[in-house]
Amino acid sequence: MEWTYQEDGGVRISKLDPFLAELVQQIPAAADADASSAAQQRLFYSPVADEDDPSEEIQEDWQEYVEPGLRSLFVSADDVVRGDLVGMQMTKHEGAAMFSLEITKANLHAWISTLNRARLVLAETHAFTESEIAAELRMNFETRRDLALFQINLYGLLLDFLLDGVESL
Amino acid sequence: MKLYDPQNATKTEPGIQTETIEDEALESVWQVVVHNDPINLMSYVTMVFQKVFGFSLEQAEKHMLEVHHQGRSIVWSGAREKAEHYAQQLHGFQLLATLEKI
């Protein structure tokens, strides 16, 4: 896998083998906030403890007004990512199929949002501990959970690369 | 503030009456607190702090390292409405952010 920063502020990810390309294609699905109740609780929660909000006013306002706004924000970012993934190109490299992807500067923040959310959703859904996430990456997958851990690390690598490419905030 | 109320005024000296003044309760001050989540990349958290609060890179990294090492960092304090606004933005970036009344 290679990545390059373009002169126009966009990024190009190339030499993705079919396995990595498929995992990249799964980013929007992996970022689904409703993938599990644990993911929902992580992403949508009232910011105020009961003792500071005895009338539950803030909690009710959050559920009624803030959560729908967050969901809309997340869906918009995912739609941008899906749109870019449609443009993934296949080429032959030394006889093997390889895939490449272009991300424009305008779409970087949507990718950053979706990648970060994918990592959170996977971590919550599979209940990974901090030590599991920090452990040395394994390439042998025996379970769906093993694959999810690999996805968290792959998406983290892509996220770090995209953050480096973000020039202005 | 309650001004002179002739019903409750007390005459202490001829021609002098006391005024009853009550201070309104001061608006509560709220803190925006970001909590550690081991999944979030340090570079990501730093970026979010710069984007939401306009922190310099140095300030953003200071708060990020507080979150990382101490488990939490108070990133803003002030009126409730604005605190809620910041918390909402931080939730939009998927950070663990809460509001605490001082």
Distances (CA, A) of A11 to A92, A95, B22: 21, 25, 63
The string of pLDDT tens digits covering residues A25-72 is 999 999 999 999 999 999 999 999 877 787 788 889 899 999 999 999
Q: Answer yes or no: is pLDDT of B4 > 60.
A: no
- Which tokens in the block code for residue A135? 């452990």
The dihedral through the CA atoms of B61, A40, A25, A21 has a sign that is positive
CB within 8 Å: B37 and A120: yes
Per-chain mean pLDDT for chain B = 84
A16 to chain B, any CB pair closer than 8 A? The answer is no
A70 to chain B, any CB pair closer than 8 A? The answer is yes
Among partner residues A130, A163, A164, which is closest to B38 by beta-carbon distance? Answer: A130
B38 to chain A, any CB pair closer than 8 A? The answer is yes
- The set of residues, in sequence order, having a beta carbon less than 8 Å from that of A34 and lying 6+ positions away, is A40
- Which tokens in the block code for residue B45? 């958290």
Looking at residue B86, its pLDDT comes to: 98
Confidence grade of residue B36 (pLDDT, cut at 50, 70, 90): very high
CB within 8 Å: A166 and B47: yes
Looking at residue B22, its pLDDT comes to: 43
Looking at residue B3, its pLDDT comes to: 40
Q: For residue A106, with 0-12 CB atoms within 10 Å meaning exposed, 13-18 middle and 19 or more buried, which class applies? A: exposed
Looking at residue B18, its pLDDT comes to: 56
Looking at residue A89, its pLDDT comes to: 94
For range B46-74, the mean pLDDT: 97
Helices (runs of H) and strands (runs of E) counted in chain A = 8, 4
